[in-house]
Amino acid sequence: MKAPQHLRYLWQRGCNFLGVEHAILGGAMTWVSDYNLVAAISNAGGFGVLACGAMSCDLLSEEIEKTYAKTSKPFGVNLITLHPDLLKLAQVCIDHKIQHVVLAGGLPPKEAIELLKAGGVKVICFAPALALAKKLIRSGVDALVIEGNEAGGHIGPVSTSVLAQEILPHITEIPVFVAGGIGRGEAIVNYLEMGAAGCQLGTRFVCAHESRAHPQFKQAFIRAAARNAVVSPQLDARFPVIPVRALANSGTEEFIQFQRDMIQQVDSGKLMLDQAQLNIEHYWAGALRRAVMDGDVEKGSLMAGQSVGMVEKEESIQDIIDTLISQATAYIEHKFNARTGSAHTDESRTRAP
């Protein structure tokens, strides 16, 4: 579906930066954002992003090649900054002529940014605060994503709407994409009008036909309401565990007990603090795989953003993106007609400022 003229005007900067028709990024979801889903998003006019997660260099290389086999459109790769082979993975992206790399999971090391930029790669990073956004710009990143705590998976403490107000008016040097809790086209238009170059969506794509998520995982999303996507608690200040938003299930309670066990082992001297923290992070990785790949929706981790309540059925990526464009178009037309007080032809509506 072709976007109307005003929508194309609003996200032109993002489209130019990504090289796509629609400035809609697919959030990189571990175990979900594989070559098939990524290629489908790119083929539908958006920008798919491969989730590298804990992949080895060989596995990432294979995943990139599979993606190239299914699409000739631009796509990116998400690398976790804490991965022990981060620089090697960055070189894999360079060797495969990847044009955009998203560095996530913490402040990216200077070496990674410099390596990627020297290899001709555009670097995108997450900025959870204005001060960090400015720091990342000084370090040479090419674009930012600001993601609010309505998102699924690992999240920060601030909502998307507040982050947008805090950051968008002050960061104009590079494109800024907004993420977290976005599930409809109207929200995309609003953030674009605030100054965003585009938006990133993850949860909305989980139940696509092209998603490899287990059928039971998808059904859990379809049944869920926004209030079911809750944030994991932190039980001890010594364990600065990054909060995770996921659908509440018995696994949520088991994670709380797992934290208690780790705290007890540290207190008794059986474990060092850093090892206990690592164990907690590994718990989430394993629980997510069990849910996505094996369909364990009772004890696995059902990472989901609060926009999960807008996921109503399983459908194709093309249909999802067409729906988002249709919603955005209707919203723009409604605003224009409300302002002018009369109906106009489709052509005049698309010329709304």
Instruction: Residue 232: name the closest of 291, 149, 295, 293 by CA.
Output: 149
Q: Which residues contact 264 (CB under 8 A, 6 or more apart)?
A: none
**Would you state the pLDDT for residue 338?**
85
Of residues 337 and 328, which shows the higher confidence score? 328
Strand partners of residue 179:
147, 200
User: Rounded CA gap, 148 and 167, in Å?
Assistant: 12
| pLDDT mean over 138-162 | 96
**Would you state the pLDDT for residue 353?**
35
Instruction: Residue 219: name the closest of 284, 289, 296, 285 by CA.
Output: 296
Instruction: Residue 53: name the closest of 305, 307, 288 by CA.
Output: 288
In this predicted structure, the answer to whether residue 101 has a pLDDT above a threshold of 70 is yes
Residue 102 phi, psi (nearest 5): -100, 125
Average pLDDT, the chain: 93
What pLDDT digit, counting tens, does each position of 78-100 carry?
A: 999 989 999 999 999 999 999 99
What pLDDT digit, counting tens, does each position of 7-57 carry?
A: 999 999 999 999 999 999 999 999 999 999 999 999 999 999 999 999 999
**Strand duo 229-231 + 244-247: pairing:** antiparallel
In this predicted structure, the answer to whether residue 200 has a pLDDT above a threshold of 70 is yes
In this predicted structure, the answer to whether residue 234 has a pLDDT above a threshold of 60 is yes
**Would you state the pLDDT for residue 254?**
87
What pLDDT digit, counting tens, does each position of 271-324 carry?
A: 988 888 778 877 877 899 999 999 999 999 999 999 999 999 999 999 999 999
pLDDT-based confidence at 347, cuts 50/70/90?
A: very low
Cβ(124)–Cβ(144) under 8 Å? yes
In this predicted structure, the answer to whether residue 129 has a pLDDT above a threshold of 80 is yes
pLDDT-based confidence at 240, cuts 50/70/90?
A: low
In this predicted structure, the answer to whether residue 349 has a pLDDT above a threshold of 80 is no
User: Rounded CA gap, 62 and 65, in Å?
Assistant: 5
**Would you state the pLDDT for residue 252?**
84
Q: Which residue ranges make up each domain of the chain?
A: 5-205+316-340, 215-306
Domain 5-205+316-340 is found in CATH 3.20.20.70? yes
Give helix then strand counts, H and E, for the chain: 14, 12
In this predicted structure, the answer to whether residue 339 has a pLDDT above a threshold of 90 is no
In this predicted structure, the answer to whether residue 130 has a pLDDT above a threshold of 50 is yes
In this predicted structure, the answer to whether residue 232 has a pLDDT above a threshold of 90 is no
> Which pTM was predicted?
0.92
**Would you state the pLDDT for residue 283?**
80
- Lowest-confidence segment of 230-239, 249-258, 320-329, 341-350 by average pLDDT: 341-350
CA torsion, ordered 156, 210, 290, 65, to nearest 10 deg: -90
Cβ(139)–Cβ(174) under 8 Å? no
